[in-house]
């Protein structure tokens, strides 16, 4: 196993385990700061949108136009991008809204609720949230792995973007479990475990896609990754950021995320 494979799997583990940070944040504080959460969600969207359009999609286009020529390569890039959009959209639809961590939670739910009330229902909600995150994180793990295999600096950028995005998802797992059981350790542990779909996605990519990875495959996967990340940003992160805080806070976070990711890519390059 060469350095690139080890590094790529390590990046996917880092990104996936960020769900545990979300669980830890919830458990360290009695109440989540709504304004800070709004900025953080906007920041995550800015990171994902910037890296998708400035780095990942152009990289996909380079691979595919080199393989197929200008016009055909452009069309294949276009189709692969929207294939990623439709893929994550279908996955979102397969998860019921009430159990989907990508759907908005009311602001009242961000208060640690009274223990013992509807405990079984809350435990089920937490488990369903963990299942939904697993479904969503699998393609993200694959994305981080494939990017890290081909270009470690791009892999780092994507891993950071996905990790930021995973933190509020960890909150959505830990919150109902903590409310139902009062057990901080269990809530944190389950939020941490739910992120393991990221490295699982990386290992599956290594085992099954490894022999087939070439310029065309990299181009198709990159374009699909860009579509997935753009969809998540517009469908989940920005609406959530506006819901949890003032409109301007989400925009400040968005611009801040773009600036930070832009500087990061310049430094990594």
Residues 154-164 pLDDT 10s: 788 788 877 87
The better pLDDT of the pair 29, 185 is held by 185
First to last CA, the chain: 25
Better-predicted residue by pLDDT, 52 or 208: 52
The pair of three-digit structure tokens given for residue 239, joined into one six-digit string: 């609406």
* Opening angle at CA 209, ends 208 and 215, nearest 5: 170
Place of tokens 């989940």: 236
Give the pLDDT of residue 75: 96
- Cα separation, 48 vs 88, in Å, equals 15
Q: Which residues contact 257 (CB under 8 A, 6 or more apart)?
A: 42, 43, 44, 45, 46, 47, 48, 49, 50, 164
Q: What is the CA radius of gyration of the chain?
A: 18
Residue 61, pLDDT above cutoff 80: yes
Are 168 and 26 spatial neighbours (Cβ–Cβ below 8 Å)?
A: no
- Label residue 25 by pLDDT band (50, 70, 90): confident
**pTM confidence score:** 0.68
CA distance 27 to 6: 32
The pLDDT of 228-234, averaged and rounded, is 84
């Amino acid at each position: 196993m060469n350095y690139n494979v080890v590094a790529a799997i390590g990046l996917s583990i880092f990104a996936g385990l960020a769900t545990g940070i979300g669980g830890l944040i919830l458990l360290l504080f009695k109440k989540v700061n709504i304004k800070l959460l709004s900025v953080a969600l906007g920041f995550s969207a800015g990171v994902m949108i910037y890296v998708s359009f400035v780095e990942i999609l152009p990289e996909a286009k380079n691979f595919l136009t080199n393989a197929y020529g200008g016009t055909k390569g452009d069309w294949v890039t276009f189709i692969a991008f929207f294939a990623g959009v439709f893929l994550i959209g279908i996955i979102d639809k397969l998860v019921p809204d009430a159990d989907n961590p990508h759907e908005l939670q009311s602001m009242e739910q961000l208060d640690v609720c009274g223990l013992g009330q509807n405990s079984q229902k809350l435990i089920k909600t937490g488990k369903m949230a963990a299942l939904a995150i697993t479904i969503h994180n699998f393609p993200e793990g694959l994305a981080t792995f494939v990017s890290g295999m081909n270009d470690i600096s791009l892999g780092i950028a994507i891993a950071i973007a996905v990790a930021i995005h995973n933190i509020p998802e960890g909150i959505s797992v830990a919150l109902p479990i903590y409310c139902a059981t009062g057990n901080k350790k269990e809530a944190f542990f389950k939020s941490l475990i739910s992120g393991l779909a990221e490295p699982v996605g990386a290992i599956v990519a290594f085992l099954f896609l490894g022999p087939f990875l070439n310029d065309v495959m990299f181009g198709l996967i990159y374009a699909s990754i860009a579509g997935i990340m753009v969809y998540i940003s517009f469908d989940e992160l920005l609406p959530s950021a506006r819901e949890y805080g003032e409109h301007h806070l989400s925009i400040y976070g968005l611009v801040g995320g773009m600036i930070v990711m832009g500087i990061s890519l310049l430094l990594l390059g």
